[in-house]
Chain A
């Protein structure tokens, strides 16, 4: 299967410092990919480049056969801090996005669709409330509703739950898992929460520390679906997966092997069920 999204040799530099260079990665259609790494390694920069909010100094990003040139409705972003427009209600925020996606729709159509999107994230009664009257979790749910309502080709998420408390975070993670599965949505998420990555992702990319960060390893998540927070830690292979990733973050993220091919990143999968792939 050809990659739906192909990141080819992108680099990002600032005066005196290279964040990363010669970065290659792929996302297949319907796949959920997580990028995990320490703070400051450049994960958000990668996401911004994928979203089109930032332009790479070298290389290109190809989505569905076309090189991207700037932000697009096809690549919806869920921001770390919800980024809702505070003068609009929850419904208004989603309707705004729908208006951008479907300029020909009437106000009534937009509002109906907005209400539907909010119902899907469980916020039907809070539709008329302004962001100031919503809790953190609810605001982020509106952000999710807004992003999904426009049916993008790819969903980009920048540590979307890191600003929330643990309980809310858990609830939302389950929601996102469900919604993404329902819509067969291609998704790319940045996180530093290992459990979150294991819960949601099909493949987990491990990013080394910056500067000159690289994707050190690709971890294939073989745990069976459907996965929820409740059953996750009972699944076979969970602990091996988790240990492996934690090891990376705690010790191997600073390692730089001598012979390194950015296009052939080593892959790893937990060995409980299947023999390791070379």
Chain B
């Protein structure tokens, strides 16, 4: 192709975004009140839209942009435990995600190895895995709070229990699908079980394992936002809940954008890691 397709696609994306935002801005401006005549004393006591007989509308893109700028200008302030900058909230969430995810990796990868190498173990554990896997974090949270009692540890536990499954299953699958031939090579070279596991099975299964990790980090990030909304304290999920209290929709939209942006970065990071261990035949 003569023109670079990636460049064209990016331009089209931006154009679509501009059209969407423009349409939104115009629609939001138009959705005011009916302009009913209202006592000026009364008007002073209610919001701008209600003063004209309407309802406070969904914020416009320009409102959201202004608010975003305000938040990003000073992202790390601390004014007491209930009021901290958005950068700090994201940092708290990332810390919890990191801890829960690493715990999940530490459990899932070795266990997945064992399951992959032993079909008997795999068959025995399969019913448990299949039952526990679909359970939502919102269902785990009350159970965790009740038994663990500490809300910080409970959040990390919920992240752990929701993100462990993709890594576990992918590791098991990756290990079980290692080419017979390579295992035979290791056997004829008298490589030994540990050496085979570390130098043949692990590199062979690494791309699959890291794909599982990539899925897991996405789930972990999703879960932390939900968990923080339930438990509160600090974190981006808690920040969303707090702005919800204030019915500040602009802030909630901004939080959604931030959550998406961070999720994207996490995914990219693990994608890069997956590419580093990838091999071709």
A residues within 8 Å of B by Cβ? 51-53, 70-73, 75-77, 79, 81, 83, 85-87, 96-97, 100-101, 130-132, 150
Give 1 or 0 for each of B180-191: 1 = CB within 8 Å of chain A CB.
011011011111
Q: Check if B184 sits within 8 Å of A130, measured CB to CB.
A: no
Q: Give Cα distance in the complex from A56 to B280, angstroms.
A: 35
Known: A85-B200, A130-B279. Is A101-B181 also a contact (CB below 8 A)? no
Q: Give Cα distance in the complex from A86 to B277, angstroms.
A: 11
Which chain A residues border B281 with CB–CB below 8 Å?
A: 86, 131-132
Residue of A nearest to B278 (CB): A87
Distance from A186 Cβ to chain B, minimum over Cβ atoms (Å)? 16
Q: Check if A73 sits within 8 Å of B189, measured CB to CB.
A: yes
B33 within 8 A of A: no
Q: Check if A130 sits within 8 Å of B280, measured CB to CB.
A: yes
The tally of CB-CB contacts under 8 A between chains A and B is 57
Q: Give Cα distance in the complex from A73 to B192, angstroms.
A: 12
Q: Give Cα distance in the complex from A150 to B182, angstroms.
A: 17
B203 within 8 A of A: yes
Residue of B nearest to A139 (CB): B281
Residue of A nearest to B281 (CB): A86
Residue of B nearest to A133 (CB): B280
Q: Give Cα distance in the complex from A8 to B181, angstroms.
A: 27
Can you list 30 pairs linking A and B with CB atoms under 8 Å apart? A52-B188, A53-B187, A70-B187, A71-B184, A75-B188, A77-B184, A77-B185, A77-B188, A79-B184, A79-B185, A81-B181, A83-B179, A83-B181, A83-B182, A83-B184, A83-B185, A85-B182, A85-B185, A85-B200, A85-B203, A85-B204, A87-B279, A100-B189, A100-B190, A100-B191, A101-B189, A130-B280, A131-B281, A132-B280, A132-B281
B199 within 8 A of A: yes
Q: Check if A86 sits within 8 Å of B279, measured CB to CB.
A: yes
Distance from B195 Cβ to chain A, minimum over Cβ atoms (Å)? 8
Known: A73-B189, A85-B200, A96-B199. Is A79-B181 also a contact (CB below 8 A)? yes
Distance from A71 Cβ to chain B, minimum over Cβ atoms (Å)? 4
B residues within 8 Å of A by Cβ? 179, 181-182, 184-185, 187-191, 195, 199-200, 203-204, 277, 279-281
Q: Check if A76 sits within 8 Å of B188, measured CB to CB.
A: yes
Which chain A residues border B191 with CB–CB below 8 Å?
A: 100
Which of the listed residues B187, B188, B189, B277 has the most CB atoms from chain A within 10 Å of its own CB?
A: B188
Which chain B residues border A71 with CB–CB below 8 Å?
A: 184, 187-188, 190
Which chain B residues border A130 with CB–CB below 8 Å?
A: 279-280
- Could you list 16 further interchain pairs (A-B, Cβ under 8 angstroms) beyond the known A53-B187, A87-B279, A97-B189? A70-B187, A71-B188, A76-B188, A77-B184, A77-B185, A81-B181, A83-B179, A83-B182, A85-B185, A85-B200, A85-B204, A86-B280, A87-B204, A96-B199, A100-B191, A101-B189
Distance from B182 Cβ to chain A, minimum over Cβ atoms (Å)? 6
Distance from B266 Cβ to chain A, minimum over Cβ atoms (Å)? 25
Q: Give Cα distance in the complex from A53 to B182, angstroms.
A: 12
Distance from A138 Cβ to chain B, minimum over Cβ atoms (Å)? 14
Residue of A nearest to B186 (CB): A100
Distance from B206 Cβ to chain A, minimum over Cβ atoms (Å)? 8
Known: A96-B199, A132-B281. Is A72-B190 also a contact (CB below 8 A)? yes
Q: Give Cα distance in the complex from A96 to B281, angstroms.
A: 18
Distance from A229 Cβ to chain B, minimum over Cβ atoms (Å)? 29
Q: Give Cα distance in the complex from A42 to B97, angstroms.
A: 55
Q: Check if B280 sits within 8 Å of A53, measured CB to CB.
A: no
